């Protein structure tokens, strides 16, 4: 009888403790809008979610190398181009590129960056989710700009057996849900990259200049930084809370209809406005205040998540300034969603880039314009925001996302 009472009391105590832990998790999620979160609420860490399955010696070595490189944050080419933070904190641009494993596209993007006037003043941050010796060699061969490489430390490459990679045991998800590792990783990596840029990278702690976000299958025009500077001046004068979008998806047959000197003031809508985003600390502060929404909205796409979260949580709808003629293009026909593998052949990729170069050559007179003019289309109707696309139902992804927001 005494043993029964002891077991009963012990079980009740355990249940009370677990309920208390769950309450802390809920309370933590509700308080996430503040970057300075009390350690008492730090119940779930990123490391506690990672699989502890045995992996090869090669993968273990990659994990250690990623930790070392993320800790060092070494900037290349400062010996030739000077220290990035030496007196140009407010003016110099930072270009942040999210990199997976498509080296042919990345090679083309780097080539286009090499043609950008003023690129030697910038810093290019490559944020990888695959540790690749070939990618590293390509980037370390760049001499025309300062470069910094960082590595998403919770990738499926580093943890292939179990979460965050493919989990053979699965997890309990709501009915009708699945989890695609490559897709959830993109959303988590996008967030981790922002945390590094706005909070963790030592070289950027005093940086108040523009931060442009690209992906490996983007391509830029030679007047990229010139248009950025002119649009920034327009932003300061007419719409300080606007974010700049320098990318777009014009059809080739419509290039002749583009107004190269026009910058449109309009409202943010995810489709078509997810490329060449220029984000600054005022945006980051608003984003952090709504971080819980980013981590829990049921959509595996970072851009559509941003669409829903800003409508739901931001104090006002996002407005953007966007050149009518993009200075950032998407050239990737081969990616996560590609089923037709012939689109991944070098010849096909080379053809896409050659066509874009031809269009740019035909529009040389429209580059480096003396001035740009703003046209407001704020009153134009936007498409209805669709329902979320799902694919974000695994609670481990939610917790990983929240942990990244808190801890980096």
User: Which residues contribute to the annotated binding site for Mn(2+)?
Assistant: 217, 330
Binding residues for substrate: 98-102, 129, 185-189
Binding residues: 98-102, 129, 185-189, 217, 330
Strands (E), 45-145: 75-76, 94-99, 123-128
Contact (Cβ atoms closer than 8 angstroms) between residue 316 and residue 284: no
Contact (Cβ atoms closer than 8 angstroms) between residue 322 and residue 244: yes
The count of other CB atoms within 10 Å of the CB of residue 13 is 10
d(C-alpha 317, C-alpha 398), whole Å: 25
d(C-alpha 28, C-alpha 372), whole Å: 46
Residue count of the chain:
408
First to last CA, the chain: 51
Give the pairing type, strands 146-151 and 75-76. antiparallel
The count of other CB atoms within 10 Å of the CB of residue 330 is 20
d(C-alpha 155, C-alpha 371), whole Å: 44
Q: Which two tokens stand for residue 363?
A: 């529009």
User: What is the CA angle 337-339-343, rounded to 5?
Assistant: 95
Q: Classify residue 236 by its DSSP letter.
A: H
d(C-alpha 212, C-alpha 206), whole Å: 17
The rounded Cα 324 to chain-centroid distance in angstroms is 23
Please name which of 210, 187, 96, 255 lies closest in space to residue 391, comparing C-alpha atoms. 187
Q: Classify residue 162 by its DSSP letter.
A: S
274 φ/ψ angles, rounded to the nearest 5 degrees: -115, 15
d(C-alpha 130, C-alpha 149), whole Å: 12
């Amino acid at each position: 009888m005494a043993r029964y009472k002891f077991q009963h009391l012990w079980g009740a105590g355990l249940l009370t403790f677990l309920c208390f832990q769950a309450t802390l998790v809920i309370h933590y999620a509700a308080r996430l809008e503040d970057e300075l979160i009390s350690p008492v609420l730090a119940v779930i860490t990123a490391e506690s979610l990672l699989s502890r399955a045995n992996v090869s010696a090669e993968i273990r070595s990659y994990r250690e190398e990623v930790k070392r490189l993320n800790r060092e944050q070494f900037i290349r080419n400062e010996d030739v181009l000077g220290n990035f933070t030496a007196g140009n904190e407010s003016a110099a641009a930072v270009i942040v590129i999210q990199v997976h494993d498509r080296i042919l596209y990345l090679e083309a993007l780097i080539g286009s960056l090499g043609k950008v006037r003023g690129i030697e003043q910038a810093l290019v941050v490559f944020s990888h989710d695959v540790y690749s010796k070939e990618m590293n060699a390509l980037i370390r061969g760049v001499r025309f700009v300062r470069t910094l490489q960082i590595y998403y430390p919770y990738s499926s490459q580093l943890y292939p057996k179990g979460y965050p990679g493919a989990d053979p045991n699965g997890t309990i998800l709501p009915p009708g849900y699945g989890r695609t590792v490559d897709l959830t990783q993109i959303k988590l990596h996008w967030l981790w990259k922002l945390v590094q840029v706005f909070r963790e990278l030592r070289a950027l702690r005093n940086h108040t200049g523009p931060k442009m976000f690209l992906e490996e299958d983007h391509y830029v025009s030679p007047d990229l930084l010139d248009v950025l500077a002119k649009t920034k001046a327009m932003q300061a004068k007419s719409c300080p809370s606007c974010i700049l979008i320098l990318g777009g998806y014009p059809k080739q047959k419509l290039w002749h209809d583009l107004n190269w000197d026009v910058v449109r003031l309009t409202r943010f809508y995810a489709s078509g406005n997810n490329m060449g985003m220029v984000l600054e600390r005022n945006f980051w502060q608003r984003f952090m205040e709504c971080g819980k929404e980013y981590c829990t909205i049921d959509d595996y796409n970072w851009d559509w998540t941003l669409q829903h979260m800003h409508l739901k949580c931001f104090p006002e709808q996002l407005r953007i300034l966007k050149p009518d003629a993009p200075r950032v293009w998407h050239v990737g026909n081969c990616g996560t969603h590609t089923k037709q593998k012939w689109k991944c052949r070098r010849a096909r990729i080379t053809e896409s880039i050659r066509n874009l170069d031809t269009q740019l050559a035909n529009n040389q007179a429209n580059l480096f314009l003396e001035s740009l003019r703003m046209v407001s289309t704020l009153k134009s109707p936007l498409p209805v925001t669709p329902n979320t696309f799902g694919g974000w139902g695994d609670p481990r992804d939610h917790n990983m996302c929240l942990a990244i927001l808190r801890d980096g």
